[in-house]
Amino acid sequence: MATDYYELLGVPKGADDAAIKAAYRKLAKECHPDRHGGCTDKEAHFKSISEAYEVLKDPQKRAAYDRFGHAAFQNGMNGQGPFGGGAGGGFEGFSDIFSSIFGEFMDPRAQRASAARGSDLRYDLELTFEEAFAGAEKTIAIQALSGCETCNASGSTGQAAARACSSCGGAGKVRAQQGFFVVERTCPGCMGSGEMIADPCTACQGEGRALKSRKLNVNIPAGVDEGTRIRVAGEGEAGIRGSAAGDLYLFVHLKRHPIFERDGTTLIAEAPISFTAAALGGCITIPGIDGEKIELKIPPGIQSGETLRHRGGGMSVLNGRGRGDLVTRILVETPTKLSKDQRAILEQFRDTETGDECPASKGFFSRIKTALGG
């Protein structure tokens, strides 16, 4: 009679996913056959707890097991499917066919290398507009898995070489048949590396990598924008036991600027001017993003909201040459504090108005007069 899956893992029937996962990992380490000299009893027990975990970690399988017990998986994952005995069943031929078609994609060595490769890392980097315009060299601090210094990233404290995992035969993956389908998953014993360490390093538990902080100098090209992603190859987490490291991805975020807004390579600024400057025209000076002063000519009669464009005064073009433009939006400011003499001058000006000075205003009120019947 088959042993109850919950009893195999030593957890109650109502255990949550975290408890089931923790119990399985503990038992998998204790019962792995490579830790017991290839003992057949330990190997059989290891396969049993792996089978139990495969069912209980899946909500649908677990619900079926709770209702029907082992009968729910007859002709399923125990290897007695309709295509013959063994975990692979009749799908072994399919695997060979796909391997010949897709080559390295189905190569177990390529799969092991992918499983052992370190994870990619993300770092959010904040820059000023000036740094984004000119480019910059930044020093960042990251905390990630790096090569273990105690064992020189080998994962072993002794001289004994790593040997192929007995559970997966060095493939890094194990198979289980479920009805008509064969499911392939990462080997829980070697965690996909295909190898087992005889004398695991106590500092890194045999992984060949440990968590530590490090500083890194990175070059930021001119012209980066909000959300720009920069890949730094090989600066991610270290791989298992000297395998290839992952990559580091920098995501750029721009600080707010007191003067400029940005639209691609175009810089946008707002410049309030007095109503007399708007009426008579003149010049204003604003600082450029490169530190140079930019002089803008105000044409007489400019209206609030109109823009002035300065060619080549914008942001650098990323991975290219040249710069965008600087666009200045004019805001005509109405005076709120007038001296007695200024008020008298404006009143005198008002007395001389004919309406032709402000044609838009004149036209608007003429249309209102017409709409109201004259």
Write the CATH number for 23.
1.10.287.110
Top pLDDT among 186 and 10 is at 10
Q: Is residue 181 part of a domain?
A: no
Confidence of residue 61 (pLDDT cuts 50, 70, 90): confident
Report which of residues 102 and 61 the model is more confident about: 61
Distance CA 6, CA 52 (A): 8
Going from the C-alpha of 140 to that of each of 121, 130, 312, 325, the distances in angstroms are 13, 19, 32, 32
Write the pLDDT tens digit of every residue in 20-59. Answer: 988 888 888 787 766 766 677 777 888 888 888 888 988 8
Residues 148 and 218 in one domain: yes
Above 90 in pLDDT, residue 283?
yes
Residue 299 within a domain: yes
Q: Is residue 84 part of a domain?
A: no
**Do 21 and 41 reside in the same domain of the chain?**
yes
- Quick check: is 373 in a domain? yes
Q: Are residues 6 and 124 in the same domain?
A: no
**Based on the domain organization, do 12 and 56 belong to the same domain?**
yes
Residue 308 lies in a domain: yes
Residues 34 and 124 in one domain: no
| Residue 281, domain CATH | 2.60.260.20
* 168 is known to lie in a ligand binding site: yes
Q: Are residues 134 and 232 in the same domain?
A: yes
Label residue 101 by pLDDT band (50, 70, 90).
very low
In angstroms, the CA 55 to CA 238 distance is 32
Of 11 and 102, the structure prediction assigns the larger pLDDT to: 11
pLDDT at 260 over 60: yes
Q: What pLDDT is attached to residue 115?
A: 58
pLDDT band of 318, cuts 50, 70, 90: very high
Rounded to whole angstroms, the Cα distance separating 177 from 161 reads 33
Indicate the residue among 15, 45, 72 that finishes a domain: 72
Q: Is 148 annotated as a binding residue?
A: yes
Q: Give the pLDDT confidence score for residue 108 in this predicted structure.
A: 53
User: Do residues 231 and 290 share a domain?
Assistant: no
Q: Are residues 215 and 143 in the same domain?
A: yes
Query: Is 31 known as a binding-site position?
Result: no
Q: Which domain holds residue 286?
A: 261-336
Q: Do residues 133 and 5 both lie within one domain?
A: no
DSSP secondary structure letters along 243-299: PPP--EEEEEEEPP-SS-EEETTEEEEEEEEEHHHHHH-EEEEEE-TTS-EEEEEE-
Q: Are residues 126 and 235 in the same domain?
A: yes
- pTM recorded for the entire structure: 0.60
Give the amino acid at 54: E
- The pLDDT confidence band at residue 263, using thresholds 50, 70 and 90, is very high
- Does 39 show up as a binding residue in the annotation? no
| Cα–Cα distance measured from residue 127 to residue 138, given in angstroms and rounded to the nearest whole number | 10
Task: Judge if 312 and 353 occupy the same domain.
Answer: no
Check whether 283 is labelled as a binding-site residue: no
> 237 and 282 in one domain?
no
In a domain, 313, yes or no: yes
- The answer to whether residue 214 scores a pLDDT higher than 60 is yes
Q: Is residue 96 part of a domain?
A: no
Q: Does the pLDDT at position 267 exceed 90?
A: yes
Is pLDDT of 90 > 50?
A: no
Residue 91 lies in a domain: no
Q: Could you give the number of structural domains in the chain?
A: 4
